[in-house]
A = this chain, B = another copy of it.
Amino acid sequence: MTNSGFDTPEAAEAAFYQAFTTVDADLMVAVWADGDDALCIHPGSDLRRGKTAVMTSWTEIFSGSLAPAVEYRYVGGYASENLVVRIVEERIWPRDKQRSEATRVLATNVYVRDEGSWRMTEHHASLPLMERGVDSSDQRRLH
């Protein structure tokens, strides 16, 4: 990690989840791209637009809870020279609970490269309420 970003999208993503699990607001600030283009959709929540609003949401999350346990797993994505999309499966649970009680979250994480370094610019997370496993193709749907 540097103050100006990360060498790879994977490094930015690792820092994002490290910031989440250690409730480290300074690291979260370093992870996110500056300016009005940053967008964050927490599970079940509305869009936060711009780095200030995004960081306000994370500060609220960090202030209201103990550091959670978070695992993440890359499940797919798309890459270009300066823009990368990574879809990950998250499992989040309180540290005083068992992993089997984890909430599963699907997230689309978008990273941009600026002056050679990568930062997160979008995090769109949602709860698969009707879950059947990431590779299932026969589940029901809401849409």
Stretch at the interface among A10-18, A78-86, A93-101: A78-86
Q: Which of A1-9, A24-32, A124-132 contacts B (4 or more CB under 8 A)?
A: A124-132
Q: Which of A118-140 contact B (CB under 8 A)?
A: 121-122, 124-140
Pair B46/A131 contact, Cβ less than 8 Å: yes
- The yes or no answer to A108 lying at the interface (CB within 8 A) is yes
Sample (15) of A-B pairs whose CB atoms are under 8 Å apart: A41-B126, A41-B128, A43-B126, A43-B141, A44-B129, A44-B142, A45-B128, A45-B130, A46-B128, A46-B134, A48-B137, A57-B141, A80-B81, A85-B122, A125-B143
- The interface of chain A, by Cβ under 8 A from chain B, is 37, 39, 41-50, 52-53, 56-57, 60-61, 75-76, 78-83, 85, 87, 89, 106, 108, 110, 112, 121-122, 124-143
